[in-house]
Amino acid sequence: MSAEVGFRPEPFPVAARTALADAQLRRNLGKATTTIRAKRAQVVGELDDWEALREAGRALKERVLRHLDDYLEQLEESVTQAGGHVHWARDAAEANRIVAEIVTGHGEREVVKVKSLTTDETGLNEALAAAGVSAWETDLAELIVQLGRDASSHILVPAIHKSRAEIRELFLRTLDVDELTDEPTELAGAARAHLRRKFLSARVGVSGVNFALADSGTVCVVESEGNGRMCVTLPDVLVSVMGIEKVVPTWRDLEVFLQLLPRSSTGERMNPYTSFWTGVADGDGPQEFHLVLLDNGRTDVLADRIGRQTLNCIRCSACLNVCPVYERTGGHAYRSVYPGPIGAILTPQLQGIDRAGSLPFASTLCGACYEVCPVKIDIPEVLVHLRARVVEHAAGTRPVPGPEALSMRALGWVFADRRRYEAAQRAARAGSVTISRHGRIRRLPGPLAAWTEGRDAPTVARQSFRQWWAARGGAR
Amino acid sequence: MRVSLFITCFNDTLFPDTGRAVVTLLERLGHTVDFPLEQTCCGQMHFNTGYQREVVPLVRRFVDTFADSEAVVTPSGSCAGMVRDHYGRMAEVAGDAGLAEAVARLSPRVQELSELLVDTLGVVDVGAYYPHRVTYHPTCHSLRALHVGDKPLRLLRAVRGIDLVELPAASECCGFGGTFALKNADTSTAILSDKLRHVLDTRAEVLTAGDNSCLMHIGGALSRQRTGVRTAHLAEILAATES
């Protein structure tokens, strides 16, 4: 989604309204997230040492981030030794240029792609298109999104917002099929026939990376459909793009992550396809391998003591599936390839507070995300931290404080002194009496009116607690 | 035991009945309650909305007000969570080592009501009588910040006359989230509508919780839709007796 660069997307509360009013979307999302939640809870419940695994995952990621420079150089060395080529990309544009040059350098006009959030983040498909290269998404859900000229709405299940009936209609319109029911096997069959032609013709494959092992240079992609296996084995040339935080020290570390990831993401004990490759091997698989290491804002995230835990993320999407906000709005409202709770903390850090400042507020801070996170990212902590950065940013850029900042300042002043606080209580009582009927308030004034659109508000009590306490003569 | 009550600005102003119930209940159990009058607000709203600079003086104020308290009880899971989980960080932001020390000394003594009763006072049956059909909503912060677990339910189960019914999908958020309810009012209401459906499914006449902020949110919709279901803070149920 290179479209993300250059303009300020509409803020979350506005973008959410469209989704909230879409009955089909609400139904699709509610059903899908409820199902995945239950599956996750079941397979996580099977492990007695789940909490220890989470802690191990967190600690491993913390170590990687602390020594990221060392591990990345080690990775470069081992990939190179195994016959691969390593490229360093400072930002999305640089990464896209590297990939495009590799493809066009081979005179190719087509690539097959494994589902990859990182290349969605860089807007690789659009960049390749501009270079005259067609990028074919081969993950079923990504294909659905691509054929519909749609945007992904979930990290793991990009077409979670689509029903079977909608997918059938799309396939009839865009694939070379005459008849199709909305049975999942038939839908998958139609996609399979289409994709098989691409797998057999494309000479370049492009993938993301789930894990890259510093000591051996081995790269790992985890998936469910086998399309990834096709992409990383059939083409002559393979280009993998990875965020720099995806490096892990050794094979042993996968023992932890390959237990955490499938259970958290699809609610499976193990995912169906786990592909590993180390550089190139004569006569076996791609004969040319490129690994692109992408920064694109990650070192800035690393520099933030509280925000850096965001880089622990292994993209499982468990936080999306348990989030009360995501479940109602879906992913599009976040206007980013990273939606949900993780997107609410990652997007503003990667894109900047000024472009995504509404996202840290798109949460009730209920903590369900933190509870399920397999690498223990304290998402509420980061959300609140980013909110403070948004407030500071506004204070630093606005010529005069906004109404919210003024109210907050005034309330701070009131709470800082007991007399002022008690006077404010009396004033609130007086104000509330004028607008209440039968002990309830049906309409609040000003910005508080948002509250009474769907809910009544209580009236301020005739006698505050402290007045009652004083009247009864204090402690007994 | 001498227990200091931190009523919270919210309860003090909008829900004083809850504070009176805490006093009634603790005194009935033979404890002494004191109420330091200098207390105002814990700063949770400012903190959660990003106004950390405004929080620091409130942290100082809270620490000064309750420095000598043996135990501090508050009928709010989220305010207790604010003090226990975030005051340390605020002292750090203030760059004040003395404040950090004072916070570290005080915050473990701050408890939400069900924690005080079950953990510190060792009581589950508080001698309450409440002949109503009740369902309990475990608030997010009591559940996931304080980890009160089933303490409130154990207290409720021991209440005589109560018809306690389980709330479906109980651990899901009600959609309040403080200023979230104003900034993202549409999403908040969408989340609330599911909570409301679950409450109504129980056929309970009373919805209870350990936090009046969540109850104000759910209760606001119960009232708007004339459901006939009312809300009551856990303390009010535990304070109720026969006669």
Q: Which of A264, A299, A334 is the last residue of a domain?
A: A299
The set of residues, in sequence order, having a beta carbon less than 8 Å from that of B100 and lying 6+ positions away, is B88, B91, B92
For residues A319-336, b (16+ Cβ closer than 10 Å) or e, as one string?
bbbbbbbbbbbbbbbbbb
Is the CB of A458 less than 8 angstroms away from the CB of B47? no
Average pLDDT over residues A156-176: 92
Q: Does residue B229 fall inside a structural domain? A: yes
Residues B86, B167: one domain? no
Is the CB of B191 less than 8 angstroms away from the CB of A364? yes
pLDDT for A233 beyond 80: yes
Residues B138, B231: one domain? yes
Name the residue among A57, A144, A64, A133 with its Cα closest to residue A102.
Answer: A133
Q: Does residue B162 fall inside a structural domain? A: yes
Is the CB of A391 less than 8 angstroms away from the CB of B51? yes
CATH number at residue A167: 3.40.50.10420
- Do A362 and B184 form a contact (C-beta atoms < 8 A)? yes
Q: Quick one: what percent of chain A has pLDDT higher than 90?
A: 92
Residues A291, A148: one domain? yes
Residue A98's Cβ-side half-sphere holds a number of Cα atoms within 13 Å equal to 25
Q: Which of A299, A328, A363 is the last residue of a domain?
A: A299
Residues B111, B161: one domain? no
Interface of B with A in 3-62 (CB under 8 A): 7, 9, 11-17, 19-20, 23, 27, 32-35, 37-38, 40-41, 43, 45-52, 54, 57-58, 61
Most B-contacting residue of A364, A387, A467 (CB-CB within 10 A), to test interface: A364
Residue A277's Cβ-side half-sphere holds a number of Cα atoms within 13 Å equal to 29
Domain hosting B93: range is 2-120
Q: Does residue B146 fall inside a structural domain? A: yes
Both tokens of A242, joined, read 């990875």
* H or E element at residue A222: strand A218-223
Q: Quick one: what percent of chain B has pLDDT higher than 90?
A: 100
Quote the CA–CA distance of A396 and A418 in Å, as a whole number.
Answer: 31
pLDDT for A5 beyond 50: no
Residues B58, B7: one domain? yes
Residues A263, A126: one domain? yes
**Closest residue in chain B to residue A457, using alpha carbons only:** B220
Q: Does residue B126 fall inside a structural domain? A: no
Is the CB of B180 less than 8 angstroms away from the CB of A368? no
Residues A85, A217: one domain? yes
Residues A292, A438: one domain? no
Q: What is the pLDDT of residue A2?
A: 40
Pairing type for strands B206-209 and B133-136 reads parallel
CATH number at residue B142: 3.40.50
Q: Does residue B198 fall inside a structural domain? A: yes
Walk across the sheet containing B206-209 and list its strands.
Answer: B163-165, B133-136, B206-209, B230-233
Q: Which of B75, B93, B120 is the last residue of a domain?
A: B120
Condensed to tens digits (0 to 9), the pLDDT of residues A273-283 reads 999 999 999 99
Q: Does residue A198 fall inside a structural domain? A: yes
Per the model's pLDDT, the better-predicted residue between A178 and A207 turns out to be: A207
Q: Does residue A454 fall inside a structural domain? A: yes
- Do B221 and B107 form a contact (C-beta atoms < 8 A)? no
Residues B78, B169: one domain? no
Q: What is the pLDDT of residue A1?
A: 40
Q: What is the pLDDT of residue A8?
A: 72
Condensed to tens digits (0 to 9), the pLDDT of residues B121-158 reads 999 999 999 999 999 999 999 999 999 999 999 999 99
For residue B40, give how far its alpha carbon lies from the nearest alpha carbon of chain A (Å).
Answer: 6
Quote the CA–CA distance of B101 and A29 in Å, as a whole number.
Answer: 47
Residues B99, B187: one domain? no
Adjacent-strand bridge partners of A87: A292
Condensed to tens digits (0 to 9), the pLDDT of residues B8-60 reads 999 999 999 999 999 999 999 999 999 999 999 999 999 999 999 999 999 99
Contacts of B191 in chain A (CB under 8 A): 324-325, 328, 364
**Closest residue in chain A to residue B16, using alpha carbons only:** A465
Q: How many domains does chain B have?
A: 2
Average pLDDT over residues A9-33: 94
DSSP state of A11: P
Q: What phi-psi label fits residue B50: left (phi over 0), alpha (psi between -120 and 50 degrees) or beta?
A: left
pLDDT for B108 beyond 70: yes
Q: What is the pLDDT of residue A447?
A: 87
Q: Does residue A405 fall inside a structural domain? A: no
Q: How many domains does chain A have?
A: 2
Condensed to tens digits (0 to 9), the pLDDT of residues A42-101 reads 999 999 999 999 999 999 999 999 999 999 999 999 999 999 999 999 999 999 999 999
Contacts of B56 in chain A (CB under 8 A): none
Lowest mean pLDDT segment, chosen from A442-456, B44-58, B197-211? A442-456
Q: Does residue B17 fall inside a structural domain? A: yes
Residues B147, B218: one domain? yes
Interface pTM, i.e. ipTM: 0.97
Q: Does residue A327 fall inside a structural domain? A: no
Q: What phi-psi label fits residue A197: left (phi over 0), alpha (psi between -120 and 50 degrees) or beta?
A: alpha
Residues B107, B154: one domain? no
Residues B110, B182: one domain? no
- Do A343 and A364 form a contact (C-beta atoms < 8 A)? no
Q: Does residue A406 fall inside a structural domain? A: no
Q: Does residue A342 fall inside a structural domain? A: no
Q: What is the pLDDT of residue A7?
A: 60
Q: Map chain B to HEC letters.
A: CEEEECCCHHHHHHCHHHHHHHHHHHHHCCCEEECCCCCCCCCHHHHHHCCHHHHHHHHHHHHHHHCCCCEEEECEHHHHHHHHHHHHHHHHHHCCHHHHHHHHHHHHHEEEHHHHHHHHCCCCCCCCECCCEEEECCCHHHHHHCCCCCHHHHHHHCCECCEEECCCCCCCCCCCCCCHHHHCHHHHHHHHHHHHHHHHHCCCCEEEECEHHHHHHHHHHHHHCCCCCEEEEHHHHHHCCCC
Q: Does residue A394 fall inside a structural domain? A: no
* Partner residue facing B47 (CB), from A368, A384, A447: A384
| Residue that has been written with the tokens 């880089």 in this structure | A311
Q: Which of A299, A333, A348 is the last residue of a domain?
A: A299
* Partner residue facing A368 (CB), from B45, B48, B173: B173
Q: Does residue B206 fall inside a structural domain? A: yes
Q: Does residue A368 fall inside a structural domain? A: no
Q: What is the pLDDT of residue A73?
A: 98
Domain hosting A281: range is 17-299
pLDDT for A176 beyond 90: no
Name the residue among A236, A208, A5 with its Cα closest to residue A115.
Answer: A208
Mean pLDDT of chain A: 95
